[in-house]
């Protein structure tokens, strides 16, 4: 009966698909390709109302096989994809986009651009929400490629300018690229998402043409609009922009303060700390100590000499001036039950000394101040340092011994 | 802790998942996802792009054709795992009901009756004693008149019950009035435990068991851990795994990583108080901390890094609800995170004790019924991640109420599908301090704490059952990180590679190379020498038990890098496989692999001497030598393992009485069904038969090493003259059918005598020969007898056709099990014997096959498969009922 026939057909189809999957997962691309030719029959009698139909499966598997098969070329790949584009209307834009990605990764930028233009002009009935998103992406990537062309023309022009020539046609071409790129890039930046690539290009364009206001607005929107994800890069771009345009220390600090609240372990926090330490305001220096302590809370910074030397420098300053020892005390309070095991164990003292002498020096200074001269880390490192006749370790030992009453005030 | 300067573009929206997908078979292929410019400086002449997925990765090739046993088989009198047919209602109504949306039809009456039969004392002890005199169990009527009024005859009732049982599944099934009357009368008072209460409990337990059968999350995280050597110079690592009858022994085994990994010395052993569900390990300050989770106990051990140092137990805690997670902190020594099914999360420090961080029986982002919780560590030693099926959150242990943020949400944020649920989160700190892995039943995600909610990597993994185990092997700078995913039920394992570091700085996360499937334990079955059918079945069952954990290690041997993957099964067996890294990609290994797979031959058991030597060049010869050494060693391990397994299984269970075989019902419904799919052995046999038919040759061409091969006894001569069916029909047509029958029976008697005589002669001849031909002879005679009895159908085939190359020389080839093949209903049916006549035939054969009863070779549960199907009456099939009660919680 027809029902049974359908059932059997479906069974053998699934079995065939299993074989293909198996071969692919074992990197037997030739075998998979042979099976796929059988699977193509599934297209003819497609009874399924499944989430993913055979045509999509063939597109996905075929693409994957062509990418790994030893005898395939980009030409073959192109013709395969052209066939796939005709197989499903709903998927057309997605297939186009993936095709463009593949071309871009193979360095075929011009062909990719042509494909993007073609896809952009494609219309079929009413667009679904997903298709709308895909279309926007296509336009954005087209804008990005326009931006690259613009930047190429710009470089040529700059070179010509250096040599004292001028070329109006190149300049005009460049401006037209700018217009095309700016329109498309601006469009995608309105939609919530992660658009680092597009944003950087757009800001570069705007800065070149001196539209700082627009650039600032776009960057602010990208960083502070709550509909966008909490992307640390958004704050980094804004900070870099502000720095480029010579903004006041205050606005730089406020931009970094927000980044600190979001990602206390960000690498810009070292700059932030240096900036705050230099500040004359007490509040800022207080914040600086907080920032550097927070950075060293994270496992990724555990062996970073720069961060440790920042902390050591600031703590040394505080101890010498004997002012604001309570700052250290406050910071230490929430850490004293786990920092000793996390940073200042005997094992780490040995390892740090072996692997990185200056790291162990900075850490020993901090340990000496926070935990006193009897702390395992300090004792081991200073002992080894003195034994190895390194001058700074002798000074370190003296310093910590001299300030041991301060330790009592911090820990008490 | 640099953050990548640019991330791959992606949309971001909030809310519940919109994509109503499902398990899509090929969803992980073909997509590059997005692209990003590759160079740090885009002002160059040509811009290069990198894809999010699909860049070429490192090439790791499997060094062997299947997973190889690493340890001897676990010494468990192994309880077979629960199967759906054990608890589902077995009738043909089932098919109809199962497809309906009311869920499965649980056969809970069966479970109840098992209980009544197995524990009569507990079920109706006291009333049974009271009524003892009033129940008459004899065949005769109740004689003494004094008792007649107060005694009922139970025999008839029993018969009624038996008849009922035989009619099970019959649509016209209706209760006999006598039974109805009895149950109506006694339902309220007969039982020790009120029947309604008992039934409720049983039903609840059955539902739990069924849920566990669909998806069992208790082994999440895996119960296998690898403690790497202290430094790269020493090659002794340690494997921590559970074992023993109830998987409640914890072993620490030293392992030397040579060409093949070998155990060294005896393992340190600890007996625990419950089945070990999870073993987690982390190395801190040169010391390993191992957390062990069982349902109601969690313990922590420490092992100093030195080789040979003894593991010491540090602390044990008891939970009132089953614990669902135990992770060991990679930052602070002696710190662990525990979750229980009541929704509590604890930070456990060996020195300071337990600190409850959260208690919330509700799930975090939307309502989900699962009580499963998970917790892990993050880049900040005081911040813990906590997870349920709906997502992940990070909370600060110093102020858990105030400081927390969402890390991952099942929703549009991560582009999830409807119905997607978190299965396993894992901290990827060894690759990157702020990255986490989240697996769901459809996809794997890598999330970064610094960019919460937006996964930095997503890939549809296409695995058939959700990955419950994961193992990370961080790559050196410039190399990819290797990630192993493992599923429990299907034993699938996938090797993924991802990268997050390029051009000296951080780059956005990319999945590189195609995903790669590793061997599962069960896949080695096809490479093993052919077994007796029941051995094969037993082995198959043992090898395909769900996986219970995985561990892996990277091993460097000069320029040769290899990846050693260990896999643990729920039966407690540990297998390993090796993958070797190929820096440049010569096409040869792939080719070899393909041809191997295509031929279906097994290099594990290939005789090294028989491999073609002439074709090889000198260069390859060396490698080949190494390979054969390797294969040989692996084959040896297999042999040892198989031998040990069969020895363990052979230890006879001490039955109080020999198993009884009933003849009331010949075939169960299941047996009458055609098998789901032919095994490879079947298909090979069929292929050979077809070939033989084409060529008009014989099927049995044994590749015997000696020249005595032609001495193999000839197949029985075909019955001469016209085919007996047509003679019989002709006879009955002409009216003298009775005459024909008489002739026929006398003829067949003569023939049988002749056959007997022949057999005796053959036995005499074969006495001096090897055991192989002896077993063959006896099976052959048997068949020739059957071929007469069955009115000369086609001459039966020997069910086992030897595979070429699969026979190891020197070991006796398998002999077919004659009775099974003969008596199987399929064989009978294929001969065209009508159903009603099969019983007669069976009875006849039963008499024929009578001899001294063989001692039961296997465990009780297997005994029923060995013998002729017994009556389904629960009274007689004690072995089946016995197997049930430990898991039913009675």
pLDDT at residue B308, rounded to an integer? 72
Domain membership of residue B890 (yes or no) is: no
pLDDT digits (tens, 9 = 90+) for A252-267: 999 999 999 999 999 9
Average pLDDT over residues B350-370: 92
pLDDT digits (tens, 9 = 90+) for B383-413: 999 999 999 999 999 988 888 899 999 999 9
How many CB atoms sit inside 10 A of residue B451's CB?
A: 22
Instruction: Tell me which of B214, B246, B279 is where a domain ends.
Output: B214
- Which of A262-266, B158-162, B367-371, B835-839 comes out lowest in average pLDDT? B835-839
Residues B311 and B196 placed together within one structural domain of the fold: no
CA-wise closest residue to B16 among B374, B448, B373, B368? B368
Residues B207 and B304 placed together within one structural domain of the fold: no
pTM over 0.80, yes/no: no
Question: Residue A230: which of B6, B27, B452 has the nearest Cβ?
Answer: B452
- Which of A116-130, A308-322, B631-645, B825-839 comes out lowest in average pLDDT? B825-839
What is the total count of domains within chain B? 2
pLDDT at residue B668, rounded to an integer? 56
Please state the ipTM of this predicted complex.
0.94
Chain B residue numbers with beta carbons less than 8 Å from the beta carbon of A101 are 32-35, 49, 51
- Picking from B21, B24, B35 by the largest number of A CB atoms within 10 A of its own CB, the best residue to mutate is B35
% of residues, chain A, pLDDT over 70: 97
Structure tokens at B18: 């919109």
% of residues, chain B, pLDDT over 70: 67
How sure is the predictor about B82, in pLDDT bands with cuts at 50, 70 and 90?
confident
How sure is the predictor about B763, in pLDDT bands with cuts at 50, 70 and 90?
confident
| pLDDT of B596 above 60 | no
Residue B415: which region, alpha, beta or left (left: phi > 0; alpha: psi -120 to 50)?
left
pLDDT at residue B76, rounded to an integer? 66
A152–B contact, CB cutoff 8 A: yes
Chain B residue numbers with beta carbons less than 8 Å from the beta carbon of A266 are 1, 3, 450
Q: Are A342 and B332 inside 8 Å of each other by CB?
A: yes
Residues B450 and B319 placed together within one structural domain of the fold: yes
The segment with the largest mean pLDDT, out of B72-81, B266-275, B580-589, is B266-275
pLDDT at residue B838, rounded to an integer? 59
Q: Are B590 and A27 inside 8 Å of each other by CB?
A: yes
| pLDDT of B774 above 50 | no
Contacts of residue B578, Cβ cutoff 8 Å, sequence gap at least 6: B62, B63, B64, B562, B563, B564, B565
The alpha-carbon gap from B588 to the nearest alpha carbon of chain A, in Å, equals 12
Containing domain of residue B627, as a range? 59-78+215-583+622-649
Q: Which position has the token pair 């300030």? A: A403
Q: Are B30 and A98 inside 8 Å of each other by CB?
A: yes
Residues B564 and B631 placed together within one structural domain of the fold: yes
pLDDT at residue B257, rounded to an integer? 87
Strands of the sheet containing B261-271, edge to edge, are B225-227, B236-243, B249-257, B261-271
Higher-confidence position of B208 and B9: B9
pLDDT digits (tens, 9 = 90+) for A88-108: 778 899 999 999 999 999 889
Higher-confidence position of B443 and B604: B443
How sure is the predictor about B356, in pLDDT bands with cuts at 50, 70 and 90?
very high
pLDDT digits (tens, 9 = 90+) for B303-330: 987 767 889 999 999 999 999 999 999 9
Residues B529 and B542 placed together within one structural domain of the fold: yes
- Which of B22-26, B198-202, B682-686, B704-708 comes out lowest in average pLDDT? B704-708
How far, in Å, CA of B286 to CA of A23, rounded?
42
pLDDT at residue A283, rounded to an integer? 93
pLDDT at residue B620, rounded to an integer? 43
Contacts of residue B292, Cβ cutoff 8 Å, sequence gap at least 6: B250, B272, B276, B278, B279, B280, B298, B299, B300, B301, B326
Residues B248 and B347 placed together within one structural domain of the fold: yes
Q: Is A112 helix (H, G, I), strand (E, B) or coil?
A: helix
Q: Are A51 and B451 inside 8 Å of each other by CB?
A: no
Residues B199 and B274 placed together within one structural domain of the fold: no
pLDDT at residue B687, rounded to an integer? 85
pLDDT digits (tens, 9 = 90+) for A305-362: 999 999 999 999 999 988 888 999 999 999 999 999 999 999 999 999 999 999 999 9
B589–A contact, CB cutoff 8 A: no
CA A82 to chain centre: 33
The segment with the largest mean pLDDT, out of A116-120, A166-170, B106-110, B235-239, is A116-120
B434–A contact, CB cutoff 8 A: yes
B20–A contact, CB cutoff 8 A: yes
The alpha-carbon gap from A120 to the nearest alpha carbon of chain B, in Å, equals 18
pLDDT digits (tens, 9 = 90+) for A191-224: 999 999 999 999 999 999 999 999 999 999 999 9
Domain membership of residue B456 (yes or no) is: yes
How far, in Å, CA of A32 to CA of A71, rounded?
14
The alpha-carbon gap from B387 to the nearest alpha carbon of chain A, in Å, equals 21
Residue B572: which region, alpha, beta or left (left: phi > 0; alpha: psi -120 to 50)?
left
Q: Is A251 helix (H, G, I), strand (E, B) or coil?
A: helix
pLDDT at residue A212, rounded to an integer? 92
pLDDT at residue B646, rounded to an integer? 81
Higher-confidence position of A51 and B304: B304
% of residues, chain A, pLDDT over 90: 66
How far, in Å, CA of B260 to CA of B68, rounded?
10
A284–B contact, CB cutoff 8 A: no
Domain membership of residue B192 (yes or no) is: yes
How sure is the predictor about B613, in pLDDT bands with cuts at 50, 70 and 90?
very low
pLDDT at residue B798, rounded to an integer? 36
How sure is the predictor about B678, in pLDDT bands with cuts at 50, 70 and 90?
low
pLDDT at residue B332, rounded to an integer? 94
pLDDT at residue A72, rounded to an integer? 82
How far, in Å, CA of A154 to CA of B509, rounded?
31
Return the C-alpha torsion angle B636, B637, B640, B646, nearest 10.
-120
Residues B349 and B485 placed together within one structural domain of the fold: yes
Average pLDDT over residues B419-444: 94
Question: Residue A301: which of B1, B432, B452 has the nearest Cβ?
Answer: B1
How sure is the predictor about B449, in pLDDT bands with cuts at 50, 70 and 90?
very high
Q: Which residue of chain A is at minimal alpha-carbon distance from B586?
A: A70
pLDDT at residue A130, rounded to an integer? 86
> CB burial class (10 A; 0-12, 13-18, 19+) of residue B236?
middle
Domain membership of residue B396 (yes or no) is: yes
Q: What is the CATH number of the domain that holds B393?
A: 2.130.10.10
- Picking from B9, B99, B590 by the largest number of A CB atoms within 10 A of its own CB, the best residue to mutate is B9
How far, in Å, CA of A259 to CA of A230, rounded?
10
pLDDT digits (tens, 9 = 90+) for B504-518: 567 889 999 899 999
B494–A contact, CB cutoff 8 A: yes
Average pLDDT of chain A, as a whole number: 90
Structure tokens at B385: 């991640």
% of residues, chain B, pLDDT over 90: 32
Domain membership of residue B841 (yes or no) is: no
Chain A residue numbers with beta carbons less than 8 Å from the beta carbon of B434 are 265, 298, 300
| Sign of the torsion formed by the C-alpha atoms of A174, A147, A128 and B15 | negative
Q: Are B380 and A347 inside 8 Å of each other by CB?
A: no
Contacts of residue A66, Cβ cutoff 8 Å, sequence gap at least 6: A72, A76, A77, A80
Average pLDDT over residues B842-857: 44
Q: Which residue of chain A is at minimal alpha-carbon distance from B596?
A: A28
B515–A contact, CB cutoff 8 A: yes
CA B8 to chain centre: 40
The segment with the largest mean pLDDT, out of A128-142, B735-749, B858-872, is A128-142
Residues B221 and B172 placed together within one structural domain of the fold: no
Distances from the Cα of B810 to the Cαs of B197, B643, B771, B807, in angstroms?
A: 61, 15, 12, 9
Domain membership of residue B634 (yes or no) is: yes
Q: Are B5 and A298 inside 8 Å of each other by CB?
A: no
- Which of A147-151, A176-180, B165-169, B862-866 comes out lowest in average pLDDT? B862-866
How sure is the predictor about B529, in pLDDT bands with cuts at 50, 70 and 90?
confident
The alpha-carbon gap from A402 to the nearest alpha carbon of chain B, in Å, equals 31
B137 neighbors B155 (Cβ within 8 angstroms): yes
Q: Are B514 and A155 inside 8 Å of each other by CB?
A: no
Domain membership of residue B427 (yes or no) is: yes
How sure is the predictor about B473, in pLDDT bands with cuts at 50, 70 and 90?
very high
CA B479 to chain centre: 34
Domain membership of residue B528 (yes or no) is: yes
Contacts of residue B327, Cβ cutoff 8 Å, sequence gap at least 6: B221, B280, B291, B336, B337, B375, B376, B377, B427
Chain A residue numbers with beta carbons less than 8 Å from the beta carbon of B33 are 101
pLDDT at residue B502, rounded to an integer? 59
Residues B469 and B380 placed together within one structural domain of the fold: yes
E strands present in B416-504: 422-427, 435-440, 443-448, 457-460, 467-473, 481-487, 493-502
Residues B153 and B251 placed together within one structural domain of the fold: no
- Picking from A341, A347, A376 by the largest number of B CB atoms within 10 A of its own CB, the best residue to mutate is A341
A293–B contact, CB cutoff 8 A: no
Average pLDDT over residues B367-382: 94
Instruction: Tell me which of B630, B649, B668 is where a domain ends.
Output: B649
A12–B contact, CB cutoff 8 A: no
Chain B residue numbers with beta carbons less than 8 Å from the beta carbon of A200 are 6
The alpha-carbon gap from A320 to the nearest alpha carbon of chain B, in Å, equals 30
| pLDDT of B873 above 50 | no
How sure is the predictor about B843, in pLDDT bands with cuts at 50, 70 and 90?
low
Structure tokens at A176: 């037209």
pLDDT digits (tens, 9 = 90+) for B703-749: 444 434 334 444 444 445 567 778 777 777 777 777 777 777 777 77
pLDDT digits (tens, 9 = 90+) for B14-64: 999 887 776 678 888 888 888 888 765 544 556 788 898 888 888 999 988
Average pLDDT of chain B, as a whole number: 75
Average pLDDT over residues A285-295: 95
Instruction: Tell me which of B631, B649, B667 is where a domain ends.
Output: B649
Question: Residue B47: which of A101, A148, A231 has the nearest Cβ?
Answer: A148
B48–A contact, CB cutoff 8 A: yes
Residues B578 and B434 placed together within one structural domain of the fold: yes
- Picking from A7, A12, A27 by the largest number of B CB atoms within 10 A of its own CB, the best residue to mutate is A27
pLDDT at residue A379, rounded to an integer? 92
């Amino acid at each position: 009966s027809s029902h049974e026939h359908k059932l059997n057909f479906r069974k053998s189809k699934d079995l065939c698909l299993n074989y293909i999957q198996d071969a692919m997962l074992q990197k037997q691309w030739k075998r998979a390709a042979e099976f796929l030719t059988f699977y193509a029959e599934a297209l003819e009698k497609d009874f399924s109302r499944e989430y993913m139909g055979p045509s999509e499966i063939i597109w996905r598997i075929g693409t994957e096989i062509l990418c790994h098969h030893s005898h395939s070329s980009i030409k073959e790949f192109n013709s395969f994809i052209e066939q796939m584009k005709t197989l499903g209307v709903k998927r057309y834009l997605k297939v186009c986009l993936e095709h463009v990605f593949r071309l871009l990764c193979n360095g075929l930028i011009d062909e990719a651009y042509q494909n993007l233009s073609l896809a952009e002009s494609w219309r079929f009935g009413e667009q679904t929400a997903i298709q709308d998103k895909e279309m926007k992406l296509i336009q954005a990537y087209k804008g990005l490629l326009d931006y690259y062309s613009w930047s190429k023309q710009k470089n040529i022009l700059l070179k010509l300018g250096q040599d004292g020539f001028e070329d109006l046609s190149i300049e005009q071409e460049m401006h037209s690229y700018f217009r095309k790129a700016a329109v498309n890039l601006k469009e995608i930046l309105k939609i919530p998402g992660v658009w680092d690539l597009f944003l950087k290009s757009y800001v570069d364009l705007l800065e070149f043409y001196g539209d700082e206001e627009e650039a600032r607005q776009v960057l602010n929107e990208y960083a502070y609009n709550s509909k966008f994800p909490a992307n640390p890069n958004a704050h980094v771009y804004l900070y870099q922009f502000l720095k480029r345009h010579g903004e006041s220390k205050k606005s730089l600090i406020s931009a970094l303060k927000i980044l600190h609240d979001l990602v206390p372990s960000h690498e810009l926090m070292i700059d932030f700390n240096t900036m705050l330490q230099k500040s004359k305001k007490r509040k800022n220096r207080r914040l600086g100590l907080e920032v550097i302590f927070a950075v060293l809370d994270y496992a990724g910074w555990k062996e970073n000499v720069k961060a440790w030397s920042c902390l050591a420098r600031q703590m040394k300053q505080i101890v010498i001036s004997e002012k604001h020892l309570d700052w250290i005390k406050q910071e230490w309070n929430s850490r004293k039950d786990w920092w000793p095991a996390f940073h200042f164990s005997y094992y780490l003292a040995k390892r740090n000394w072996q692997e990185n002498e200056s790291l162990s020096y900075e850490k020993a200074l901090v340990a000496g101040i926070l935990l006193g001269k009897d702390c395992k880390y300090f004792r081991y490192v200073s002992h080894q340092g003195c034994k190895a006749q390194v001058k700074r370790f002798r000074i370190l030992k003296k310093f910590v011994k001299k300030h041991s009453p301060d330790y009592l005030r911090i820990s008490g | 802790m640099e953050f990548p300067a640019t991330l791959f573009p992606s949309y971001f929206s909030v809310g519940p998942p919109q994509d109503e997908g499902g398990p899509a078979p090929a969803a992980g292929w073909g997509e590059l996802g997005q692209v990003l410019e590759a160079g740090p400086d885009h002002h160059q002449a040509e811009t290069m792009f990198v894809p999010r997925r699909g860049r070429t990765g490192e090439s790791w090739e499997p060094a062997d054709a299947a997973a190889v046993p690493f340890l001897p088989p676990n010494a468990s009198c192994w309880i077979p795992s629960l199967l759906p047919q054990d608890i589902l209602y077995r009738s043909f109504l089932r098919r109809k009901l199962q497809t309906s949306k009311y869920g499965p039809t649980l056969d809970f009456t069966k479970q109840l009756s098992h209980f009544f039969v197995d524990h009569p004392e507990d079920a109706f002890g006291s009333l049974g004693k009271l009524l003892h005199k009033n129940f008459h169990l004899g065949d005769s009527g109740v004689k003494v008149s004094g008792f007649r009024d107060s005694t009922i005859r139970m025999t008839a009732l029993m018969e009624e019950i038996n008849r009922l049982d035989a009619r099970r599944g019959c649509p016209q099934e209706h209760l006999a009035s006598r039974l109805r009357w009895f149950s109506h009368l006694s339902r309220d008072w007969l039982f020790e435990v009120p029947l309604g209460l008992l039934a409720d409990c049983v039903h609840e337990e059955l539902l739990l068991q069924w849920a566990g059968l669909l998806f069992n999350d208790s082994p999440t995280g895996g119960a296998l851990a690898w403690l790497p050597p202290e430094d790269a110079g020493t090659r002794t690592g340690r494997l921590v795994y559970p074992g023993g009858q109830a998987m409640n022994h914890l072993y620490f085994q030293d392992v030397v990583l040579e060409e093949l990994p070998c155990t060294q010395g005896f393992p340190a052993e600890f007996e625990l108080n419950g089945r070990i569900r999870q073993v987690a390990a982390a190395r801190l300050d040169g010391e390993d901390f191992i957390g062990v989770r069982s349902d109601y106990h969690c313990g922590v051990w420490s092992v100093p890094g030195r080789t040979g140092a003894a593991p010491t137990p540090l602390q044990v805690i008891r939970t009132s609800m089953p614990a669902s997670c135990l992770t060991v902190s990679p930052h602070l020594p002696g710190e662990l995170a525990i979750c229980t099914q009541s929704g509590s999360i604890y930070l456990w420090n060996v020195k300071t004790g337990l600190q409850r961080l959260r208690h919330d029986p509700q799930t975090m982002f939307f309502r989900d019924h699962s009580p499963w919780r998970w917790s892990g560590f993050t880049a900040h030693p005081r911040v813990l991640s906590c997870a349920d099926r709906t997502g992940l959150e990070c909370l600060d242990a110093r102020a858990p109420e105030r400081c927390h943020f969402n890390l991952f949400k099942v929703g549009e944020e991560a582009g999830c599908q409807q119905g997607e649920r978190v299965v396993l989160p894992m901290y990827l700190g060894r690759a990157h301090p702020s990255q986490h892995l989240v697996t769901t039943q459809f996809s794997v995600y890598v999330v970064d704490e610094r960019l919460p909610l937006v996964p930095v990597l997503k890939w549809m993994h296409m695995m058939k059952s959700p990955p419950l185990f994961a193992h990370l092997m961080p790559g050196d700078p410039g190399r990819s990180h290797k990630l192993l995913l493992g599923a429990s039920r299907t034993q699938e394992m996938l090797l993924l590679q991802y990268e997050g570091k390029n051009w000296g700085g951080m780059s956005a996360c990319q999945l590189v190379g195609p995903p790669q499937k590793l061997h599962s334990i069960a896949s080695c079955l096809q490479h093993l020498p052919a077994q007796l059918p029941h051995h094969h079945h037993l082995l198959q069952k043992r090898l395909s038990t769900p996986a219970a954990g995985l561990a892996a290690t990277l091993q460097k041997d000069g320029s040769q890098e290899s990846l050693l993957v260990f896999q643990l099964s729920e039966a407690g067996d540990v297998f390993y496989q090796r993958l070797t890294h190929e820096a440049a990609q010569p096409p040869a290994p792939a080719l070899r692999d393909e041809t191997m797979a295509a031929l279906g031959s097994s290099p594990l058991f290939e005789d090294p001497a028989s491999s073609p030597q002439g074709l090889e060049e000198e260069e390859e010869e060396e490698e080949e030598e190494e390979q054969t050494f390797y294969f040989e060693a692996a084959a040896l391990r297999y042999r040892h393992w198989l031998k040990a397994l069969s020895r363990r299984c052979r230890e006879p269970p001490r039955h109080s009485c020999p198993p009884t075989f009933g003849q009331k019902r010949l075939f169960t419904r299941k047996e009458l069904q055609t098998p789901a799919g032919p095994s490879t052995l079947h298909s090979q046999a069929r292929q050979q038969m077809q070939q033989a038919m084409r060529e008009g040759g014989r099927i049995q061409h044994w590749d015997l090493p000696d020249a005595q091969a032609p001495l193999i006894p000839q197949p029985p001569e075909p019955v001469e003259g016209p085919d007996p069916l047509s003679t019989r029909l002709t006879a009955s047509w002409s009216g003298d059918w009775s005459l024909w029958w008489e002739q026929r029976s006398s003829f067949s008697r003569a023939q049988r005598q002749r056959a007997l005589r022949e057999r005796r002669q053959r036995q005499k001849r074969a006495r001096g020969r090897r055991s192989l031909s002896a077993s063959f002879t006896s099976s052959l005679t048997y068949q020739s007898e059957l071929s007469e009895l069955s009115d000369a159908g086609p001459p039966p085939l020997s069910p086992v056709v030897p595979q070429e190359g699969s026979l190891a020389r020197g070991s006796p080839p398998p002999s077919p099990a004659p009775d099974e093949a003969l008596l199987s209903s399929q064989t009978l049916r294929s001969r065209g014997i009508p159903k009603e006549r099969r019983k007669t035939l069976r009875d006849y054969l039963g008499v024929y096959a009578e001899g001294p009863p063989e001692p039961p070779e296997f465990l009780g549960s297997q005994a029923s498969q060995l013998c002729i199907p017994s009556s389904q009456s629960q009274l007689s099939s004690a072995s089946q009922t016995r197997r049930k009660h430990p898991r039913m919680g009675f």
